[in-house]
């Protein structure tokens, strides 16, 4: 009987479920969007019950669409939006507050305080992370400090904290398993990536009781079996990884020096740096790529907060395109941006700038600027931000990068991919299967239950759809200089 893997891909704006066969082909896919909650500027929340109900709904839909019964599914793999923080009651399973999303900036002032007190070096040394409101630790502290009675309940051992993977595992196993994997743990700012354990000193610094924390497991092992009416059989949950690490694995970047960039709401670039963590000197974060068996692989990561979201803004905010796909044809109406630069620092600037107060800026506008110039500038902004991260990575790793593997929704935009190759002066490679996040989770789950014997066997399934080579006749030097000036303007605007 052909074994199938069910991948649950819980993202920032939607929950998806994809069923893969043993050849790595997609058998069925279901997706459901859910509500984004913005209680005040800079705050972003989700209702945890929405996350769970949409994820359950699409899992059921994908199984039905595939014409399968639960018994034909060998395992479940989970991949998730990372850093998003949920705190719930251990007895009832009820969340004590909404999920605080990775994009949320409410703890920025507290992060400034941690830096001012001189904790940034220790935190980076232990966790590989930069002190920022992006990570989970300060979000957990906020919930304990601001939700009535939460701290007392946490101290009494009544509350559980988890990232989205833990929340799904808890619900899938009816509260029998409270666990996470090393990749998600390494994004909390509470996990020591050297000793591979929760760090007591950091827990004390942030005043977070250890009793709240999940057990940390490998990315590829059986976490437990489902115990819900959803499936007719109890299925093993056998692979878990944060979305970007899952994408790195799905892109088969299993050798040191290989790099992928995912173009989603934000952009996330990861480079496999092998079995030894490097502490970045260029404002990147060091993170765990995955742990399979006893082997840990590490990665350097640069996060760009606004990637594809800049195209959504053109659609919803400015109304200059009807659908996100229209941006390519609009941008192609002009040969260049006419000197316009758009810095989409809508939620501050991520790597390598880490300026949480920078705001979106458009410069170089003249009377001749039209919607096409702005659309092209928006696409170029994604490519330039990616370039900034890639240059920082090259400097940290001491390796020149000649190939970038790409995935995510915006990679369907050939114009963007060509601009990307030009500004990087490197080859951009788009694989045949662009659902690399979900397939990464499926591969990790399948390895744990023997659907695939080794990553080398999986390697055979990775195939190229299209390569974009740099056009050397374009003068990108002046374009890049203009971008650097525009970024300075975005930072200057944020200064008092």
Q: Is 200 annotated as belonging to a binding site?
A: no
User: Judging by DSSP bridges, how do beta strands 159-162 and 267-274 pair with one another?
Assistant: unpaired
39-87 pLDDT tens trace: 998 899 999 999 999 999 999 999 999 999 888 899 999 999 999 999 9
- The tens place of each residue's pLDDT in the chain, 496 residues long, gives 789 999 999 999 899 999 999 999 999 999 999 999 999 988 999 999 999 999 999 999 999 999 998 888 999 999 999 999 999 999 999 999 999 999 898 999 999 999 999 999 999 999 999 898 989 999 999 999 999 999 999 999 999 999 999 999 999 999 999 999 999 999 999 999 999 999 999 999 999 999 999 999 999 999 999 987 777 778 999 999 999 999 999 999 999 889 999 998 889 999 999 999 988 888 899 999 999 999 999 999 998 888 888 998 999 988 989 988 899 999 999 999 999 999 999 888 888 887 878 889 999 999 999 999 999 999 999 999 999 999 999 899 888 888 999 998 889 999 999 999 999 999 999 998 878 999 999 999 999 999 999 888 998 888 899 999 999 888 899 999 999 999 999 999 888 6
| Phi, psi values for residue 86, rounded to 5° | -125, 135
The pair of structure tokens assigned to 227 is: 């115990």
Count how many Cα atoms sit within 13 Å of the Cα of residue 90 in the half-sphere of its side chain: 18
Q: Is 90 annotated as belonging to a binding site?
A: no
Q: Is 386 annotated as belonging to a binding site?
A: no
Q: Is 134 annotated as belonging to a binding site?
A: yes
Q: Given the structure tokens 């200059």, which residue do they identify? A: 320
CATH 3.30.420.40 holds for 4-234: yes
Give the residue among 240, 228, 235 at the shortest CA–CA distance from 185: 240
| Phi, psi values for residue 294, rounded to 5° | -100, 5
Q: Is 175 annotated as belonging to a binding site?
A: no
CA dihedral 162, 287, 424, 338 (to 10 degrees): 40
- Please list the alpha-helical segments (H only) found in 398-465: 414-424, 436-449, 455-459
| DSSP β-bridge partners for residue 269 | 261, 302
Q: Is 409 annotated as belonging to a binding site?
A: yes
What is d(CA 167, CA 178) in angstroms, rounded to the nearest whole number?
A: 8
86-144 pLDDT tens trace: 999 999 999 999 999 998 989 999 999 999 999 999 999 999 998 989 899 999 999 99
Sign of CA dihedral 391, 424, 456, 187: positive
Q: Is 38 annotated as belonging to a binding site?
A: no
CATH architecture group of domain 252-431+463-495 = 2-Layer Sandwich (3.30)
Q: Are 23 and 3 in contact (CB under 8 A)?
A: no
What is d(CA 137, CA 132) in angstroms, rounded to the nearest whole number?
A: 10
Give the residue among 264, 257, 348 at the shortest CA–CA distance from 44: 348
Residues carrying CATH 3.30.420.40, the chain: 4-234, 252-431+463-495
Q: Given the structure tokens 């990307």, which residue do they identify? A: 420
DSSP-assigned letters across all residues of 334-363: SSS-TT-EEE--BTBB-TTT-BTT---EEE
Q: Is 93 annotated as belonging to a binding site?
A: no
Q: Is 12 annotated as belonging to a binding site?
A: yes
Q: Is 286 annotated as belonging to a binding site?
A: no
Q: Which residues, 6+ apart, have CB-to-CB distance to 163 below 8 Å?
A: 80, 82, 83, 84, 85, 86, 136, 180, 184, 187, 188, 242
Question: What CA–CA distances, in Å, run from 102 to 17, 43, 168, 490?
Answer: 21, 10, 17, 22
Q: Which residues, 6+ apart, have CB-to-CB distance to 285 below 8 Å?
A: 128, 129, 130, 300, 301, 302, 303, 351
Question: What CA–CA distances, in Å, run from 282 to 298, 354, 404, 462, 485?
Answer: 17, 11, 19, 31, 19
């Amino acid at each position: 009987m052909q074994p199938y893997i069910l991948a649950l891909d819980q993202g920032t704006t939607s929950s998806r479920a994809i069923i893969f066969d043993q050849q790595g082909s997609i058998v069925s896919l279901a997706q459901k969007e859910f509500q984004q909650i913005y209680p005040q500027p800079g705050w972003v929340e989700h209702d945890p019950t929405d996350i769970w109900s949409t994820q359950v709904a699409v899992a059921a839909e994908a199984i039905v669409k595939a014409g399968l019964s639960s018994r034909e599914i060998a395992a479940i793999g989970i991949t998730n939006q990372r850093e998003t923080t949920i705190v719930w009651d251990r007895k009832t399973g009820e969340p004590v507050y909404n999920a605080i999303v990775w994009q949320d900036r409410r703890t920025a002032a507290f992060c400034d305080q941690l830096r001012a007190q001189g904790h940034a070096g220790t935190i980076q040394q232990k966790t590989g992370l930069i002190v920022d409101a992006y990570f989970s630790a300060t979000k957990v502290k906020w919930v304990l400090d601001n939700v009535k009675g939460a701290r007392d309940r946490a101290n009494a051992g009544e509350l559980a904290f988890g990232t989205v993977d833990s929340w799904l595992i808890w619900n899938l196993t009816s509260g029998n398993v409270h666990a996470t994997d090393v990749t998600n743990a390494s994004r909390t700012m509470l996990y020591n990536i050297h000793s591979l354990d929760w760090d007591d000193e950091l827990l004390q610094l942030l005043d977070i009781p250890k009793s709240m924390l999940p057990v940390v497991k490998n990315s590829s092992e059986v976490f437990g079996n489902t115990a819900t009416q959803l499936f007719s059989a109890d299925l093993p949950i056998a692979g878990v990884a944060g979305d970007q690490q899952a994408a790195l694995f799905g892109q088969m970047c299993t050798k040191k020096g290989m790099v992928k960039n995912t173009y989603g709401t934000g952009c996330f670039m990861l480079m496999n740096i092998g079995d030894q963590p490097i502490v970045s000197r260029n404002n990147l974060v060091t993170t765990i790529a995955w742990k399979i068996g006893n082997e840990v692989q590490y990665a350097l990561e640069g996060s760009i907060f606004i990637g594809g979201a800049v195209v959504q803004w053109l659609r919803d905010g400015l109304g200059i395109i009807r659908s996100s796909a229209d941006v390519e044809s609009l941008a192609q109406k002009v040969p260049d941006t006419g000197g316009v630069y758009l810095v989409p620092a809508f939620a501050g600037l991520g790597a390598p700038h880490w300026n949480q107060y920078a705001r979106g800026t458009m410069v170089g506008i003249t009377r001749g600027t039209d919607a096409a110039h702005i659309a092209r500038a928006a696409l170029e902004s994604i490519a330039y931000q990616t370039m900034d991260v890639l240059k920082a990575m090259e400097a940290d790793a001491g390796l020149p990068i000649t190939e970038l593997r790409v995935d995510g929704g915006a990679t369907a935009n050939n114009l963007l991919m060509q601009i990307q190759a030009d500004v990087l002066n490197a080859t951009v490679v788009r694989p045949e299967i662009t659902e690399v996040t979900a397939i990464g989770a499926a591969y990790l789950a399948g390895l744990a239950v023997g659907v695939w014997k080794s990553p080398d066997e999986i390697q055979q399934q990775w195939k190229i759809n299209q390569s974009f080579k740099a056009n050397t006749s374009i003068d990108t030097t002046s374009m890049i200089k203009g971008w650097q000036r525009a970024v300075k303007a975005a930072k200057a605007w944020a200064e008092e």
